[in-house]
Structure 1
Amino acid sequence: MAVSIERRPAASARPVFFLLLAAFAFLRGVAADGPASEETPHRRFEYKYSFKGPHLAQSDGGIPFWIHTGNAIPSADQVRITPSLRSQRGSVWTKNKINFEHWEAEVTFRVSGRGRMGADGLAMWFTAEQGLDGPVYGAADQWNGIGVFFDSFDNDGKKNNPAILVVGNNGKLVYDHQNDGTTQSLGTCLRDFRNKPYPIRAKITYYKKTLTVLINNGFTPDKEDYEFCTKVDNMVIPPEGFLGISAATGGLADDHDVLSFLVFRLTEPGQQPPPPESEIPKEEKDKYQEEFQNFQQELDKKKEEFQKEHPDVQGQPIEDLFESVNDREIRQVFEGQTQIHLEIKQLHRQLAMILDEQRRYVALITEEVTKKGTAVESGQELLPRVAEADRLGAAAPAAGRGGRHGDVRDHPALQRHQGASSPGQEGRGEPGPAQRTESCREGGEVPRGSPDAFLLVHHAFHNLRRGPVGALLLLHHVQESTGSSGKEVLLIVSNARVRL
C-alpha cells in the first residue's frame, strides 16, 4: 500500500503538468500578438509648451513661452497658482496653440493647507481659447474643450471630495458648482491629493480620441508609481488649443503649487514625427536670430566698458573672472556636504537631549515603583489581622437576618470601644445601616493601628453586605476614628473579598 500511495501523486501530476504547459503556450502566444496591436506611441518632449525648475522664472518674473494672470506667482522652482488666502484666483497658459493631434501632459503639483478641509481646487485645461480669468477654478466658464478638475471642497455635502473629474464643454454649458460638476462629468475618481509627503503627479494622455488620467498619490518618491483614475472614450476636442492650469480659493484656502508641466507629442507607431525645424515659422526664426545678435552686441559693449574701467586686468581673459560651470558644481557639492554635516550635528544634539530626558524619566519611574512596592509590603502585614477576623467571625454566634459572622454589635471590639447595645433595641430587631453607623459614632475614637479597629471594619462589612449605603457610612466613620488612610481601609476590604 505504501508504494501505491507514493505513485498516485506522480500519475495525477501528469495531466496537471500538461495543462500548465498548454496555458503557458497560450499566454506566450497572446503576449507575442499583443505588442503588434498595442504598441506604445512615440513620445517627443515639447519645450515650448512646458516648464519646470530650477530656473523656471526669468529675471522679469515671467515664464518662457507661458503667461500668468491673477494671483499666480512664478518663482525659480515652482509656480504658486494661488496662495493660501481667501478668494484668490490664478492661472498660467501657453502663449502658442498646440497643433498636433495626440499629446500627453505630466503635471507635478502640491495642494497643501493647515485645515482638515481645503478649497476650492485646481484645474488643467485644453481649450480653444485662453480662459485667463473666471469662476471655474480661476478660469473662464463656457469653455470649448476639456478640463480635468481636482476638486477639494464638498459643495453638495455628499462627502465625495476630494475628487478628480473630467468635464467636457462645447462652449455653451455653464459649470454646475452646486453639485461639484458631477452632473456634467465624463469620468471621475476619488483621490485625496491634499497634504501629501511627496508631490502629486498627474499624467493626462489624449491618444486616438481617448482621454486617460493616471495619478501618483504622493505617498512614495517613485515618479512612475501611477495608478488608474479614469478613462473617457470617443472624446472629440478642438484640433488646436491652449494648455493651461488654474486654481482658486474660497472661504477656505490652500496653497496650489505647480512644480512642473511637461508636454509630449505622441506619434503613432510606423509614422515619422515631423522634424523640429518645420514647426518654427520663418518669421519667428528670424525674430529669435535678431534678438540673439542684439544680445551678443550688448555683451561685447559691456566687455569693452569693463576693460576701460579696469585697465589692470586687460591682459587677463574676461572668462577667468567668472565662475565656470565645473567650478560652480564643485562649490555646490562642497556646500551641500557642509550643510549635511551641520544637520547631522544638530540631529546628534537633539538625540542626546532625548536620551538624557529618557534617563531622567526612567529614574523617576523606578523611584515611584520602589515606593509603591514598599507600600504593598506594609499592606501585606495587615493580612494576619484579616485572618484573625475571619477566625473570630466564624466562632461568633449567628444573629440578625442570617448574618454569617453574627451581629457586629456582639463583637468584643465594638463592646470595648463603644459599649453594648441596650436590650430595648435588641427586642425591636436588628437596626438598619444608619443606626449601626450612629452607634459607631457614639462609641468614641478608636486608636490608630489598633487590631480591634481592623476586626471592627472586617465584621461590619460582612454584617452589612445587604446595606451598601450604611456600609459606606460606617467605612467613613471608621476611617475618621482610626486615623487610617483610605488606602489602608481599602486594602483590608480587598483582602477580605467583601461584596456589598
Structure 2
Amino acid sequence: DAIPSADQIRITTSLKSQKGSVWTKNKSIFEYWEVEVTFRVTGRGRIGADGLAIWFTEEPGLEGPVFGAADKWNGVGIFFDSFDNDGKKNNPGVIVVGNNGKLLYDHQNDGSTQALASCLRDFRNKPYPVRVKIAYYQKTLTVLVNNGFTPDKDDYELCAKVEDMVLPSQGYFGISAATGGLADDHDVLSFLTFQLTEPGKEAPTPDTEIPQKDKEKYQEEFEHFQQELDKKKEEFQKEHPDVQGQPGKTTFAFSLSADDVFETVSDRELRQIFEGQNRIHLEIKQLNRQLDMILDEQRRYVSAVTDEIAKRGASLPGQQEQVSQQEIETVVKTQEEVIRQVNEIRNSVADTLKSISGAQHPGSAGVYETTQHFNDIKEHLHLVKRDIEHLAQRNMPSSDKVKCPELPPFPSCLSTMHFIIFVAVQTVLFFGYIMYRSQQEAAAKKFF
C-alpha cells in the first residue's frame, strides 16, 4: 500500500487495516552503520494506530502482522508504537526488539516482554518532522530521537541503548507501517544510511560497493519512475483544469496566491504557540544543566567538609574539638539537606520538560518568569555556598586560613544558629515556590 512521490513515501494512508513497507534491494555490507530517518505520523484523532517500524534484517521482509512486516525476523526492529494494546498507558513509545528468526512478536503486551530497551516518546502530529538516528557500533545499538518540536536538526535526545547486541554482518534495511481500527498517515521523508569505521581504518570506495551495471539499472528505473509521475501529473491537470487557473479564471488564481502569501489568524497563533513552546523547552534544558552543575558543587563541598572532620579528629583536644566537630557535623547534615532539595528541583525541572513536550502553552510570556524563578534559586544556593566557606574558614586555625587578596575583610562570620535559620528560610521559600508552580499548572490545565 506504499505510495511514492517526488519528496516522500506514504507507507500507509489514514484508512483502516492498511499495511505498507519499503526495503533496500541490495544487502548492506557494512559491519558498523548508522541510519537517519525523517518521518511524520499524522492523524485526526487523539489516539492513532498502529505504528511504524524501522528494520535491519538478514532477509528482506514480506508483508505481515508486525507493523506491516513479517514475523520471525532475524535482526532488529525499532518500533514506534502508537496504540496502547495492554492498557498500561505507555504509548506512544519507542521499543527495540531483537529476534533470531524464531520468536513471535507479543502484540498483546506491546512487545514489553521482549523489549531490549524502550522509551516514551510522542511522535504523532508534531509541528516539525520527527528525526531518528540509529547507530550500531561495536555491538552497541543506540537510538536517538528528535521529538519534532524544534526545527533544530541536531536536537537529539537519547531514547534507548542496547549493549552486547549481535546483528547479522550483512542485511537489508527497511521501514514499514500499519493501521488498525484507528488510522494515521505514515510518511517517510528521508532514509539515509552511513557506514561507520574504526579510527585509522579506511572505508571501501563507493565503486567497490555498487557495480556500474547496477548503477545504470537504478538510474533507468529512476528515470522511468519520473516519466510515469510526469504523465500522471499531466493527466490530473487535464481532468482538473479548474485547479490550474486557466486564462479565463484569473481572479480565482489570484485569490489562491493571496491565501498562500498571507497566513490566517489561527495559523499565526498556532505558529506563535510553537515558537514560544520551543523557547521554553530550550530554556528549561539549559536550567537543568545548570542545576546539575550546582549539585556537583554541593557534593564536592560535602566531601571537603567530611575530610575536614577526619583531619580535626586527631588534632583538636578536649571541649574545643567536640564543639567544632559538632558544628561541622551540623554543616554536613545541612549540606545533605541542600543536596536533597537540589535533587528535588532537578526532578521537578525534568518533569516540567516532559510536560512541555506534551502540552501546548500559548506565547512566550512564561519564559522570563520561569527563568527568573530559577535564577533566584541559583542565587540562594550560591549564598549558601559562600556562607559555608566563611564557616569553614572560621573553624580553621589562623595559620591555615585562606585569605582572599585585594578584598576588604568581612565584618563578621556566620554563626551556627544564623546558618540554621538561613537554611530554614530557604526551605520555606523552596516549598512556597513549589506550591506556586503547582497552582500555575493547575490553572493552566483548567484553561486548556
* TM-score between both structures, scaled by the size of structure 1: 0.45
Structure label with greater radius of gyration? 1
* TM-score between both structures, scaled by the size of structure 2: 0.50
| Larger relative contact order (CA 8 Å, sep ≥ 6) | 2
